[in-house]
């Protein structure tokens, strides 16, 4: 048995890092690795009542096959509650329910990328998106970022150089992995560039509702009058990731293509999970719940930043994210964060080395820290231990 797999499988490889990170499942590990929300905040009492009632009152339809597009009430409530102040007046017809944002990323690869096509992303970018796109064998062109997000002049240079580029992929709000937020001015500019160069923007915004200070900037999509922005949303960070419910918000013509892809890919998302999420939002305030999350994450972020200031060598730079789940650490250029991870794991601390966030590789002196999934006491201990590992190199 030695099967002849497709060529694309060469780009889909088991990650050495993933194997290392399996160790983080041990209970005694202090893990800053995943992008996991805090499960102690899940509103279990409300969810269990709603699950029970949905099955009791509408079980015959809630456990049956249903429309590929998604549960109509859920699509409505997403428009009413989660998407606000947009120029194109979104309706449920602009919404497709997906299995988390990850599936929307995979579909975007399928929709746009032929082998060898250029796609444009931030440098660094989300590793799950990079993996999803890689299956379609694109050429990644990375555009540098500064503290206001992707550098627009550099983006336009790339658009001029690669007129056939298929899309711009961006995470504008509290970016994964850097925590950086794109400025309002650049958001407007990005839509202008999309129109000028006739290229779609895939705006991935899983963290936009998690502003830990001030308020989030208006979405890129909110400036889009003419359907150039495809926005991806999810309940994984604001509610519960276990439901695997996200959505694509796009111009109806574009959405039709995503719907056809969804039909071939898995027919539809879980009928029952869609209904639980919709009825939760109908009966309770998700905004109130998000405010509770923000309160907790804010403390955790502050604790992490304070601990990094206290325990990390002074020369180490890191981002002070204003929202979301992550901070991003830069080591000396000759250092490799994968080696640091091996040492840190011996001290029972985990994080994600930065190299996987650069689609074209080559940068080993960064790593990502998550603060949403650990209580404050463990954050202090973990950062102290990590500081001790790092001090050996400074």
We find the least distance from the C-beta atom of residue 234 to its own copies, in angstroms, to be: 11
Nearer to its own copies, 174 or 243 (CB): 243
We find the least distance from the C-beta atom of residue 112 to its own copies, in angstroms, to be: 6
Round to whole Å and give the CA distance between 267 and 261.
9
- CB of 246 closer than 8 Å to CB of 233: yes
Round to whole Å and give the CA distance between 138 and 166.
9
Nearer to its own copies, 96 or 308 (CB): 96
We find the least distance from the C-beta atom of residue 261 to its own copies, in angstroms, to be: 6
Nearer to its own copies, 88 or 142 (CB): 88
Round to whole Å and give the CA distance between 225 and 239.
29
We find the least distance from the C-beta atom of residue 91 to its own copies, in angstroms, to be: 18
Long-range CB contacts (within 8 A, 24+) of 376-379 = 376/299, 376/300, 376/303, 378/30, 379/30, 379/32, 379/300, 379/303, 379/304, 379/307
We find the least distance from the C-beta atom of residue 100 to its own copies, in angstroms, to be: 6
Round to whole Å and give the CA distance between 121 and 177.
13
Give, as one character, the DSSP assignment of residue 163.
Answer: T
- CB of 54 closer than 8 Å to CB of 34: no
Nearer to its own copies, 107 or 312 (CB): 107
Nearer to its own copies, 131 or 175 (CB): 131
We find the least distance from the C-beta atom of residue 259 to its own copies, in angstroms, to be: 9
Round to whole Å and give the CA distance between 325 and 175.
9
Q: Measuring CA to CA, which residue among 334, 325, 322, 327 is closest to residue 386?
A: 327
Nearer to its own copies, 7 or 288 (CB): 7
- CB of 354 closer than 8 Å to CB of 339: no
Round to whole Å and give the CA distance between 332 and 313.
11
Nearer to its own copies, 230 or 340 (CB): 230
Nearer to its own copies, 182 or 269 (CB): 269
We find the least distance from the C-beta atom of residue 343 to its own copies, in angstroms, to be: 26
We find the least distance from the C-beta atom of residue 276 to its own copies, in angstroms, to be: 8
We find the least distance from the C-beta atom of residue 213 to its own copies, in angstroms, to be: 26
- CB of 335 closer than 8 Å to CB of 220: no
Nearer to its own copies, 216 or 293 (CB): 293
Round to whole Å and give the CA distance between 298 and 212.
6
Q: Measuring CA to CA, which residue among 335, 356, 346, 336 is closest to residue 386?
A: 346
- The burial class, CB within 10 Å (0-12 / 13-18 / 19+), for 95 is buried
- CB of 17 closer than 8 Å to CB of 356: yes
Nearer to its own copies, 251 or 322 (CB): 251
We find the least distance from the C-beta atom of residue 231 to its own copies, in angstroms, to be: 15
Q: Measuring CA to CA, which residue among 364, 215, 197 is closest to residue 290?
A: 215
């Amino acid at each position: 048995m030695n099967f002849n797999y497709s060529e694309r499988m060469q780009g889909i490889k088991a990650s050495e890092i993933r194997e290392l990170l399996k160790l983080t499942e041990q209970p005694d590990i202090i893990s800053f690795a995943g992008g996991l929300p805090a499960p102690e905040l899940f509103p279990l009492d409300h969810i269990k009542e709603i699950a029970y009632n949905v099955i009791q009152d509408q079980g015959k339809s809630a456990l049956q096959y249903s429309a590929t597009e998604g549960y109509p009430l859920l699509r409505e409530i997403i428009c009413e509650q989660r998407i606000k102040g947009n120029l194109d007046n979104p309706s449920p017809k602009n919404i497709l329910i997906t299995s988390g944002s990850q599936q929307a990323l995979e579909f975007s690869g399928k929709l746009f990328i032929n082998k060898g096509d250029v796609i444009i992303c931030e440098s660094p970018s989300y590793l799950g998106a990079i993996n999803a796109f890689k299956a379609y064998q694109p050429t990644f062109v990375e555009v540098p970022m500064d503290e206001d997000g992707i550098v627009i002049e550099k983006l336009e240079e790339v658009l001029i150089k690669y007129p056939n580029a298929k899309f711009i992929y961006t995470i504008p709000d509290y970016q994964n992995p850097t925590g950086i937020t794109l400025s309002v001015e650049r958001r407007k500019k990005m839509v202008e560039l999309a129109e000028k160069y006739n290229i779609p923007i895939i705006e991935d915004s899983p963290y936009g509702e998690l502003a830990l200070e001030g308020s989030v900037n208006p979405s890129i999509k909110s400036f889009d009058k003419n359907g150039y922005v495809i926005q991806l949303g999810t309940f994984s960070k604001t509610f519960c990731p276990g439901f695997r419910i996200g959505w694509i918000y796009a111009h109806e013509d574009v959405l039709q293509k995503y719907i056809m892809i969804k039909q071939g890919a898995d027919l539809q998302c879980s009928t029952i999970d869609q209904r639980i999420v919709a009825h939760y939002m109908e009966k309770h305030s998700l905004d109130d719940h998000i405010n509770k999350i923000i309160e907790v994450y804010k403390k955790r972020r502050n604790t992490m930043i304070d601990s990094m200031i206290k325990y990390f060598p002074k020369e180490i730079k890191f981002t002070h994210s204003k929202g979301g789940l992550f901070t991003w650490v830069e080591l000396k250029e000759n250092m490799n964060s994968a080696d640091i991870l091996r040492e840190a794991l011996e001290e029972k601390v985990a994080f994600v080395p930065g190299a996987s966030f650069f689609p074209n590789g080559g940068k080993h002196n960064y790593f990502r820290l998550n603060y949403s999934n650990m209580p404050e006491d463990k954050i202090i201990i973990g950062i102290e231990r990590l500081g001790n590992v790092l001090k050996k190199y400074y």
